[in-house]
C-alpha cells in the first residue's frame, strides 16, 4: 500500500481548538458581564422565575418522601409518648384508687373502733379489745380466730361482742389466740329475753342464722321482736342485742312454732371485737356453810 493513500487527518480527540487560556479568559469575562448585567438590569430575574415555576412541582414531588419520613417518625414518637403517658396515668389512677380504698377502710375501722369505745363504758364487766384474724378452717362450722389468748387473760366461755351486739363465745383458748364460735354455728346456744314482753327463751344456731326452739304455737312472738341477752346463765351480761325475729311459722299439725331469727351482728363484716369476762367470774364467791353445832339433848333421869 502506498503512503499517498493514507488519511493523515488527526482523530477528533487530538483536534486542537482555542487554547485553554483563551477559553478561561472568555468565560470569565462572560460570567463577569452577566453578573454586572444582572445586578444592574435584573435581566436574569424572568429566567429564574420561569425555572423556579417549572421546578416547583418537581421539588414538591421530591419532598413527599422526606415529609412522609419525618411525619411518620413524629407520629411514632408521639404515639410512644402518648402510650407512655397513658400507662403512667393508669398507674397513678390505680395508686389513687388503692389509696382511696385504704382510706375508706381506715374510716370504716375508725367508725367501728369508736362504736366499740362507746360500748365499753356501758358494760359492767371487764373487756379486752381483739382483732379477727381469719375464719376457722372447718367448713362445717362458723368459727373465727382472734389475736388474743391465754397470755392476755382470755378465758373459756368469754362472750365476744361488737358495736352491734353479741357475736359468739370463746370455745377454745391458745396462748396467743382464741377460737370464737359464732351464734349461727350449729352447736351454739344462748339464753335470750324478748325486749317487748320480757319472755325468756333459748336461741340456737342453724346453718343460715338462728332459731327459737321449743316455743309453743301460741307463744307471744312477733316478727320484728328484738331479743337480747337475759343474763341468767352467768356468762353474758344482760341487755346485749342478740337477734331479731324474721319469721314466725305457726303450724296447725304441731304444738310448736318455727321461729327464725337473724343475728344483729354480721359476722362476715366484723374485724374488731370486745372479749368480755364471763359474768360468773366477777360474782362474789358463795359463803361457806358454817358447821352445824349439835343441840344439847334432854338429860336422862330426874332432878336430884
Exposure string of 48-86, with b = 16+ CB inside 10 Å and e = fewer, is eeeeeeeeeeeeeeeeeeeeeeeeeeeeeeeeeeeeeee
pLDDT tens string, the chain, 304 residues long: the values are: 555 566 566 566 555 667 788 888 888 888 888 788 777 777 777 777 778 788 888 878 887 887 788 777 777 888 888 888 888 888 887 777 777 766 666 666 666 666 666 655 556 678 888 989 888 887 788 899 999 999 998 999 999 998 888 999 999 999 999 999 999 898 899 999 999 888 899 999 987 789 998 888 888 899 999 999 988 888 888 888 999 999 998 877 778 888 999 999 887 878 888 898 888 776 555 556 555 555 555 555 444 4
- Cell numbers for 297, please give them: 339433848
What is the CATH T-level fold of the domain 127-281, as seen in this structure? Thrombin, subunit H (2.40.10)
Q: What is the pLDDT of residue 75?
A: 79
Cell 421546578 sits on residue: 55
| Nearest residue to 191 via CA among 157, 138, 229, 221 | 229
Q: What is the pLDDT of residue 218?
A: 85
Q: What is the pLDDT of residue 178?
A: 92
Q: What is the dihedral of CA 276, 277, 283, 284, to 10 degrees?
A: -140
The CA distance from 182 to 189, in Å, is 10
- Residue 6 neighbours by CB distance under 10 Å: 7
The CA distance from 240 to 228, in Å, is 5
Q: What is the pLDDT of residue 23?
A: 84
Q: How distant is the alpha carbon of residue 73 from its chain centre?
A: 42
Contact indicator for 274, 267 with CB cutoff of 8 Å = no
Q: What is the pLDDT of residue 303?
A: 46
pTM of the model: 0.56
Q: What is the pLDDT of residue 289?
A: 54
- Cell numbers for 46, please give them: 424572568
Cell 448585567 sits on residue: 37
Amino acid at each position: 500500500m502506498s503512503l499517498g493513500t493514507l488519511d493523515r487527518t488527526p482523530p477528533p480527540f487530538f483536534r486542537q481548538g482555542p487554547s485553554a487560556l483563551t477559553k478561561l479568559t472568555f468565560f470569565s469575562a462572560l460570567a463577569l458581564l452577566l453578573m454586572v448585567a444582572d445586578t444592574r438590569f435584573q435581566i436574569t430575574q424572568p429566567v429564574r422565575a420561569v425555572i423556579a415555576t417549572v421546578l416547583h412541582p418537581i421539588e414538591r414531588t421530591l419532598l413527599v418522601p422526606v415529609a412522609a419520613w419525618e411525619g411518620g417518625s413524629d407520629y411514632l414518637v408521639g404515639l410512644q409518648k402518648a402510650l407512655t403517658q397513658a400507662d403512667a396515668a393508669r398507674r397513678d389512677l390505680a395508686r389513687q384508687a388503692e389509696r382511696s380504698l385504704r382510706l375508706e377502710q381506715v374510716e370504716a375501722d375508725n367508725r367501728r373502733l369508736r362504736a366499740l369505745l362507746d360500748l365499753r363504758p356501758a358494760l359492767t364487766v371487764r373487756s379486752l379489745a381483739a382483732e379477727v384474724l381469719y375464719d376457722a378452717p372447718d367448713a362445717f362450722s362458723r368459727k373465727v380466730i382472734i389475736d388474743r389468748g391465754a397470755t392476755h387473760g382470755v378465758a373459756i366461755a368469754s362472750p365476744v361482742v361488737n358495736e352491734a351486739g353479741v357475736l359468739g363465745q370463746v370455745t377454745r383458748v391458745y396462748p396467743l389466740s382464741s377460737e370464737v364460735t359464732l351464734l349461727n354455728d350449729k352447736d351454739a346456744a344462748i339464753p335470750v329475753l324478748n325486749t317487748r314482753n320480757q319472755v325468756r327463751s333459748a336461741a340456737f344456731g342453724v346453718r343460715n342464722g338462728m332459731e327459737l326452739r321449743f316455743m309453743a304455737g301460741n307463744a307471744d312472738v312477733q316478727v320484728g321482736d328484738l331479743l337480747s341477752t337475759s343474763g341468767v346463765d352467768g356468762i353474758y351480761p344482760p341487755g346485749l342485742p342478740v337477734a331479731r325475729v324474721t319469721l314466725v311459722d305457726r303450724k296447725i299439725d304441731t304444738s310448736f312454732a318455727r321461729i327464725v331469727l337473724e343475728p344483729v351482728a354480721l359476722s362476715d363484716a366484723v374485724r374488731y371485737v370486745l372479749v368480755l369476762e364471763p359474768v360468773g367470774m366477777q360474782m362474789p364467791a358463795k359463803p361457806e356453810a358454817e358447821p352445824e353445832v349439835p343441840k344439847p339433848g334432854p338429860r336422862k333421869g330426874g332432878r336430884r
